[in-house]
Structure 1
Amino acid sequence: MHVIIGVDIGTSGTKAIAFTSSGSVTGNAYVSYNPLIGAPGYHELDPETLFNAVMTCIEQVVKGVSGNIAGISFSAAMHSLIAVDVNGEPLTNVITWADARSVEYAEALKQSPADKDIYRHTGTPVHPMSPLCKIMWLRNNQSHIFAVTHKFVSIKEFIFYRFFNQYLVDHSIASATGLFDIYTKTWYAPALQAAGINSDQLSEPVSPNYIIKGLEAKYAKQLGIDVAIPFVIGASDGCLANLGSNATRPGDLSVTIGTSGAVRMIASKPAYDKQERIFNYILTDELYVSGGAINNGVVLLKWYTEHFLKKPFSSGGDLSWFVQQADQVPAGADGLLFLPYILGERAPVWDATAKGVFIGVHSGHTQAHFMRAIIEGINYALYQVAASVQETVGTIQHIYASGGFINSPLWLQWLTDLFGKEINLINSDDASSVGAAILGFQALGIMQPNETTRIFHIQQQYNPNVTLHARYQQYYKVYAGLYNKLKDDFQALNNIRGSGL
């Protein structure tokens, strides 16, 4: 039986799985890591820590594989940036999607005539998350580093350079940079001009199905594999989550809630949104993924638990405990709504200066009400993005869930009640790493795209409560208007805070 090792390089940890051509996960490994302590708005990781995590995960999984390893295929978080020197050594840490230091440059670009053109061609809304804006910040704030940078790369590119001494970027990761034309699949000159760089300072774009062999001998020895084993460059974690959760047909919506969250739908072409609410990223040579990501997922439960409940938070038991406490109060939290923009927001508002708001507070509200409102605020945020996707891409017919929240049946049920549609839970150990493995099978010709559905089985199906759906819809109408009413106030508060007065 053929086995592909699927590797997913995330911002909180790296995971590797051994995935068989029959759809079974026969081994896995996980290494977690924490962001480096930095200035407010900074979110960085140590590139060496991530490289070592990838090595450790692959090595551990290889040791447990009894079948034939047909290849190793990769998923990675989007929007990361590392400046490297001529020897490939990092000049910066990994600047992640959550880093907001370039907000000033993103806002200026959004107000310029170039904004709509860059969004139309690159599919990436202008936002501090994108490498385009991060490079603009580096150029103006760390000119000594900018001047000696040989390449600007993502974490996957950094690792592949170590492995093969080549700078390669898959079209999927490239399409999330704000620098890549998703139609011509080449670097987009006006975006490069805005960043102040040229295409020679970026990696060579290749198909997500790209196969490379000739792993550096020292790494092959450490991993316990042959130097000739094929590596498939793969795609981005968000796009592969659709593939790994079987949300691959028109009308299939993937909903993911982990540290952050996202909703995505696959289409045969990009879906241009005049309001610039959604992204369009590349999954394969024939498929695009349209959708939107939110900054504020399970991280909000961690924030509230540590800062207000004064309890330690670790993903797992604390998540279940939090949801059970929130279940003590009814749907809608007795009129308490939460706009969950604690970390600013991406889709659909794309405003890094947005703030969190509790509204509707009255004397009858308890701790449990605030906890329920937080979870429901996350759900409303995703529902609002899903409405944008449905309006732009097409009608939602089936919903598939993935991410850490799937371990909470209560949370899944609440989301189902809000959407008013069945939500399916697939027998997927981890959607992005499974998606990477499936893409690897396809790239190597072991599995055809139309064969993937046979390996998925619905583990559980959640059905909506019609009464609660109607209640949630009433509350959502209020939620949906909050941002536009408050956005000017958010900016005013931001200005006052920044003035130091």
Structure 2
Amino acid sequence: MECIITIELGTNAVRVFAFDLKGDVVASAKGSYPTFHIQPDYSEQDPEQIFITMLYVLKNLITEKLHPKMYSIRSVCFLASMHSVLAIDHQGVPLGNVITWADNRGKKEANELKQSPLGKVIYNATGTPIHPMSPLIKIAWLKNNDSERFSKAFKFLSMKSYILQQLTGEYVIDYSLASATGLLNIHTMEWEPTALEFAGITSDRLPRLMSVFSSPGKLRKEYQTSLGLSPDTQIMIGSSDGCMATLGAGTWREDKATVTIEDSGAVRVVGKEVLRDEKQRFFNYLIAKNCYVSGGPTNNGGVVFEWFAKQFGDFRIPFDTEQIMEGLIREACNVRAGSDGLIYLPYLLGERAPLWNANARGSYFGINIKHERSHFIRATIEGILYEIYSIGKILQEHRAINSLSINGSFATIPFCAQLMADIFNKPVHTVTNFSSAARGAFLLNAIDMGIYSDLEQAAGSTPFQETLYPREQDHATYTRYFRIFERLSVKLEDEFEEIADLQQGGE
């Protein structure tokens, strides 16, 4: 029996899935790694720890779950979170940690570029909003603030590019992941000269561009041996987690949107044309030529509720965090829609779409003497989903959306899924396997193998588990409270800026 392995290099964990050729999951495994916030706005990870964790999880899955069942591995496909930057020297050795998407230290560079005419030129060419998340801004920050590391850097890689170089010896990046760097021209599918000049680099300091269906080469012999893989096992470069989650969610029609909420979140649509927004609020990422995934990301998804659980959950009984979160959700069910007037701004990690404000901060608004812990729990969940809706709301200025397909460990919690239907006032489809990103990577392989003819046919193969419909009364309540949420998010911009300055020791 043959199977396909997908390896997702996520924000806080590597997730490995094995699919049979029918698309059913036959095995899965996960390994976590920490993120370091050594100063305000810093978000880094140890690339060697990620690589070792990936090898450990992959080897265990193969030796403990696949080989005993006589599965042979036909292909291994990679996908990864976007916007990471790792500087490496001529020997391929990392120069410090990998900088993640959540890193906000390039605020000054981002603000100056966004307010200049060049910012609009680069945004229109690359489809990536000007924000500290962008590798374009991260590299510019290194140039301006860490000149020693910048000058020593032989190449600037994504985390996935580094993993693939370790495994195959090749420095490569797929067009899809490259289109999230702010350095790729999504129209010519080449590195954008104006962006390169702003970053202070030339194209030879970036990895080689490849199609998402391409292979960087064979596994090095030492990894063939240690992992127990055949020399004929195909290595597919794959794509980004966001684009794969959209493909795996089965929403390849222009009247549907995908909502993904894991630690972070996003609302995405697919189309043959770039969504043009004068306010530069959307991303436009490539999957293949003339095929774009457009939408907006939020920093503040499930990670916010996990933060709440760790701070305010009942840990007197030694349950793990996931069990504590389940208990909190049961408690939130006892509170009416709208949390009796308590509103939460979930901006614990700054915010991307639609605010694009790295200084945004979280807050509870409307607290009164009758509010209890259960109100804060529900308000926290509602705040996360209001933020998701704020992205969907502006997308609908450009695209009619009739239904949602949701995926991700937070979005597919039944309580959260129903709230999304109520807030959006649209049917919500849940997929059978919540790991839509992994399924998307499997579908890339399946297209390459000829099982499906193209991306649209592959997406149409995704089965839906159930459909949730909006509750009219709750939607009316959420509409009223969302207006306040939306106004607060804008009105507090000056206060966000001032408190950020105070954190940095400003006057």
- Asked if these proteins are the same fold (TM beyond 0.5), I'd say yes
Q: Give SS of 1:404's match.
A: coil
CA 1:150–1:112: 2 relative to 1, 3 Å: same
Point out the more displaced range, 291-300 or 61-70.
Answer: 61-70
CA distance in 2, matches of 1:313, 1:259: 20
Point out the more displaced range, 356-365 or 264-273.
Answer: 356-365
After superposition, residues 188-203 of structure 1 pair within 5 angstroms as 188-203=192-207
The gaps in structure 1 that reach 5 residues or longer are none
Point out the more displaced range, 440-449 or 463-472.
Answer: 440-449
CA distance in 1, matches of 2:402, 2:74: 35
Q: Amino acid of the residue matched to residue 241 of structure 1?
A: A
CA distance in 1, matches of 2:37, 2:344: 28
After superposition, residues 95-244 of structure 1 pair within 5 angstroms as 95-244=99-248
Point out the more displaced range, 490-499 or 200-209.
Answer: 490-499
CA distance in 1, matches of 2:216, 2:232: 9
1:427 aligned residue: 432
1:371 aligned residue: 377
CA distance in 2, matches of 1:451, 1:161: 32
- Which one of 460, 469, 476 corresponds to residue 463 of structure 1? 469
CA 1:187–1:337: 2 relative to 1, 3 Å: same
Q: Amino acid of the residue matched to residue 328 of structure 1?
A: N
2:54 aligned residue: 54
1:388 aligned residue: 394
Q: Give SS of 2:396's match.
A: helix
Query: How far apart are residue 42 of structure 1 and its match?
Result: 1.3
The gaps in structure 2 that reach 5 residues or longer are none
Report the RMSD for the aligned CA atoms in angstroms: 1.8
2:421 aligned residue: 416
Q: Amino acid of the residue matched to residue 404 of structure 1?
A: S
2:357 aligned residue: 351
Query: How far apart are residue 447 of structure 1 and its match?
Result: 2.6
After superposition, residues 209-358 of structure 1 pair within 5 angstroms as 209-309=213-313, 311=315, 316-358=322-364
Contact 2:255 2:402 (8 Å CA) reproduced: yes
CA distance in 2, matches of 1:177, 1:211: 21
Q: Amino acid of the residue matched to residue 42 of structure 2?
A: Y
CA distance in 1, matches of 2:411, 2:361: 27
CA 1:38–1:310: 2 relative to 1, 3 Å: farther
TM-score computed with the length of structure 1 as normaliser = 0.96
Contact 1:25 1:429 (8 Å CA) reproduced: no
- Deviation sequence 1:329-371 (CA, Å, 0-9, x none): 1100111111211211000111101112222222221221121
CA distance in 2, matches of 1:50, 1:18: 20
CA distance in 2, matches of 1:55, 1:357: 40
1:22 aligned residue: 22
CA distance in 2, matches of 1:475, 1:126: 30
CA 1:315–1:396: 2 relative to 1, 3 Å: farther
CA 1:310–1:318: 2 relative to 1, 3 Å: closer
- Deviation sequence 1:144-192 (CA, Å, 0-9, x none): 1111100000011001111221111001110111111111111111111
CA distance in 2, matches of 1:112, 1:454: 43
2:492 aligned residue: 486
Query: How far apart are residue 378 of structure 1 and its match?
Result: 0.7
Contact 1:247 1:253 (8 Å CA) reproduced: yes
Q: Amino acid of the residue matched to residue 12 of structure 1?
A: N
- Deviation sequence 1:445-464 (CA, Å, 0-9, x none): 33322442564222122111
CA distance in 2, matches of 1:395, 1:2: 41
CA distance in 1, matches of 2:319, 2:148: 39
2:40 aligned residue: 40
How many residues are paired up? 500
CA 1:80–1:469: 2 relative to 1, 3 Å: same
Q: Alignment identity in percent?
A: 38
CA distance in 1, matches of 2:107, 2:314: 31
Q: Amino acid of the residue matched to residue 98 of structure 1?
A: A
Contact 1:302 1:313 (8 Å CA) reproduced: no
2:452 aligned residue: 447
Query: How far apart are residue 214 of structure 1 and its match?
Result: 2.0
Point out the more displaced range, 61-70 or 165-174.
Answer: 61-70
Q: Amino acid of the residue matched to residue 416 of structure 1?
A: A
Contact 1:320 1:408 (8 Å CA) reproduced: no
Contact 2:17 2:27 (8 Å CA) reproduced: yes
Query: How far apart are residue 398 of structure 1 and its match?
Result: 2.2
- Deviation sequence 1:381-428 (CA, Å, 0-9, x none): 000101122212x11122111111245211211111111111111112
1:399 aligned residue: 404
- Deviation sequence 1:44-102 (CA, Å, 0-9, x none): 11111111222223323333333443211111010001000001110121110011111
Contact 1:84 1:150 (8 Å CA) reproduced: yes
Q: Give SS of 1:248's match.
A: coil
Q: Amino acid of the residue matched to residue 32 of structure 1?
A: S
Q: Give SS of 2:142's match.
A: helix
1:362 aligned residue: 368
- Deviation sequence 1:238-261 (CA, Å, 0-9, x none): 110011111222122111111111
CA distance in 2, matches of 1:142, 1:388: 37
CA distance in 2, matches of 1:201, 1:111: 27
TM-score computed with the length of structure 2 as normaliser = 0.95
